[in-house]
Chain A
Amino acid sequence: MKRGKWLLAAAFLAPAIVVLVGLVVWPALRTIFDSFYGPAGKEFVGLDNYRDMFRFERMRIAIRNSFIWVIAFPFFVTITGLILAVLSERVRWRTAFRLMLFMPAAIAILSSGIIWRIMYEANPERGAVNALLNIPASMFSPPGDLAGATPSTDAAFDRDGLIVSLDVGRDGGTVLVGMIGIREDEIPESAVQASSIADSPEPPGAGTLVGVVWRDARPGENERGVVEAGEFGIPDVVVRLIDAQDQELATGVTEPDGSFRITGIEPGAYRARIPASEFREPWGGITWLAPELATMSAIIAGIWIWGGFALLVIASGLASIPRELQEAARVDGANEWQVFRRVTVPLLAPVLGVVFVTLTINALKMFDLIIGIAPGSVQDEANVIALEMWRTAFTGLGNRGLGSAIAVFLFLLILPVMIFNIRRFRIEEERR
């Protein structure tokens, strides 16, 4: 009888075991074997691959990032799933909500990476994330008319704006402020040919300062610092006259030909300032996929992809926990948070454990998301161990030995997670 049972079990198990031994166990052992051999798998190199592995900066970054992934990704995804599962219990359209959130799981991960690369585009004109952030940004600090411009005449920027030194003599004074680096279509439509008033042989008159702020550029030949035919004035620029103590004395605003006039000034040395707000650049957006942010941005995309999975699993766990305990706690006067914290979460612990462990293993095996989301120049900084293994073993003709060593390393990292999982599982079995 005993023997019969054994044979019977073997018959049921045989197909799975044959396939697993042939295509998982044997390749895995082969990989361990290969990890002691050279790039082409021919010469024995002992532990060299394991030593070399840690010598490369790329691998060290990969280890650091995998660590960040393992810490952050399962935590945030589980928390997101838990909160949304509990909240969505309370609405009638919970099924629709949960399915909506699960939808990203139906999309290939590589495609999801591409979708998020489009979302993360730095230019707020094209990237949705930055476009959303741009709404408040442009409300609080609108770009100035002279955004991006630099002076072509003698002037310098300080914290408060552009500073031009000037002298006002007995017959008044003139000042030229040339601007380059702005496109013709960026200056207001009202602009006309820049004023030649500053070049006029007649002095402006006692106590009068005359100046021109203009676009010192035109098609073809062009001399810096000189107002020429075809160069336009820049209208509506505020020019403040300040003294040595930074006290504001007077203010002028430029005409369509770029000229401004300030009267009633004593002779002497002054400075004129065009305020910094005129030069304020439009908000350029956050470079989400910059080297230092790429891992975080990829984790956010990961939450989007797996959040629905966590939600569904936790929600089904929620549906199967006995309602009576929560009821009892409420009758005893516990508030919703206490019920959640003291009753719901402990009851859900096994489910949360399953989700957490699954996500931890996913985090360690993560690779197609990174390929999809990180630009080429950032693949190094966003690197993770599983990706480094792929790159080492398969890019070019590949270094099979080193790639195998990294795979074994990855295996060793996942092992404790699995052991933890298995022990937890054992404890549960005993409870049955």
Chain B
Amino acid sequence: MSAGGTAADRAKATPPLRPPVSDVELVGLTPKTPAQKFTRWLSRSSVQIVLVIVALFWLMPTIGLLITSLRPAEAFARTGWWQAITEPSQLTLENYTSLLGDSDLIDAVLSTFYIAIPSTLLPVFMAALAGYALAWIPFKGRDTLFLILVGLLVVPLQMALIPAFSVFRTFGLSGLPALWLFHTAFGLPLAIFLMRNYFAGLPGSLIEAARIDGASEWKIFLKVILPLGFPALASLTIFQFTWTWNDLLVALVFSTKQQPITLFLRDRLGEFSTGIGVISPGVFLSAIVPLIIFFAFQRYFEAGLLGGSVK
């Protein structure tokens, strides 16, 4: 990897925002003859076509569900959703108005925020603390501890449910705090992994300089590490938020009064019904928030995700 050393170092120094590479740079040599230009145009447009087709295929299930959510449940039982393309008259907002008219939906959305926000911020913060110590505070057995912590990724969540329930009972915890802590616990291994790797890639000179200036470790963490590590924090936030927002299993076991949107949807499915008139708009409504979070943070995403692992 020595050949790429300088470039990698540069990338490290300015991790988040590498300017997009122009097309000319990408394909390499600037074309000189018309024949070369034509070949380039051909390969570029065939790539475009392939990608357009891939994108269409990728969007098809989502579009299918969107159209399904705009058709009456009776139509779903009779024909495929694409029939609505030739017969747009059957499209209706009925499913959405009846779902949104349900006052419990608002409660469920709020509850999901109550659950998801602390369940995201707690592990991100804890992992940032731990990641800083694991990357920049030398102590004996540091790497071993790191590997053990990351190794906990292996523990399947389902099996921890019953023992964790007893743990919460011992401490008199239930409902929201139980959900927060459980989500935190199972979000931490990946979070620590990403944080430590990203922080390790930050320029050591800055931290050393701050230490020489007499700044406390806590101050370095707050004033140097957190701002520099923002891309990693942001991408981790996206991951953890999406996960907790969409969680059903943990909520099923630990939630008491606060029922998140996944439980709300499940409630309305009933024992026998496919409930397509509820699930199709419901899946859309519940996906909106993670998508907003994703789009809001996506520019940090790429930089943050791999900060430490690409060398």
Contacts and interface: CB of A to CB of B under 8 A. Distances in A.
A431 B2 CA distance: 10
Interface string A141-162: 0000000000000000000000
Interface string A225-247: 00000000000000000000000
Contact of B18 (A30, A31, A319, A365): A319
B209 interface: no
B303 A108 contact: no
A425 B151 CA distance: 12
Given A307-B58, A319-B302, A351-B306, A25 B152 contact: yes
Interface stretch (A5-13, A190-198, A266-274): A5-13
A320 B159 contact: no
Given A20-B185, A23-B185, A110-B248, A431 B287 contact: no
A105 B245 CA distance: 12
B188 A20 contact: yes
Interface residues of B, number: 99
A345 B306 CA distance: 16
B309 interface: yes
A410 B159 CA distance: 11
A411 B149 contact: no
Interface in B27-78: 27-29, 44, 47-48, 50-51, 54-55, 58-62, 64-65, 68
Interface stretch (A43-51, A291-299, A400-408): A400-408
Contacts of A91: 44, 47-48, 51
Given A20-B185, A324-B7, A386 B246 contact: no
B181 A23 contact: yes
Q: Which of B7, B50, B80 has the most CB of A within 10 A?
A: B80
A326 B221 CA distance: 38
B290 interface: yes
Interface of B: 1, 3-4, 6-8, 11, 18, 21, 23, 25-29, 44, 47-48, 50-51, 54-55, 58-62, 64-65, 68, 79-82, 126-127, 129-130, 132-134, 137-140, 142-143, 145, 147, 149-156, 158-164, 167, 181-182, 184-186, 188-189, 192, 217, 221, 242, 246-249, 262, 276, 279, 283, 286-287, 290-291, 294-295, 298, 301-303, 305-306, 309-311
The 4 A-B residue pairs whose C-beta atoms are closest, nearest first, are A316-B302, A322-B7, A23-B185, A27-B163
Interface of A: 5-6, 8-9, 12-13, 15-17, 19-20, 22-28, 30-31, 84, 87-92, 97, 99-111, 114-116, 118-119, 121, 125-128, 131, 304, 307-308, 312-313, 315-317, 319-327, 330-331, 347, 350-351, 354, 361, 365, 367-368, 386, 389-390, 393-394, 400, 403-404, 407, 410-411, 414-415, 418, 422, 425, 428-429, 431-432
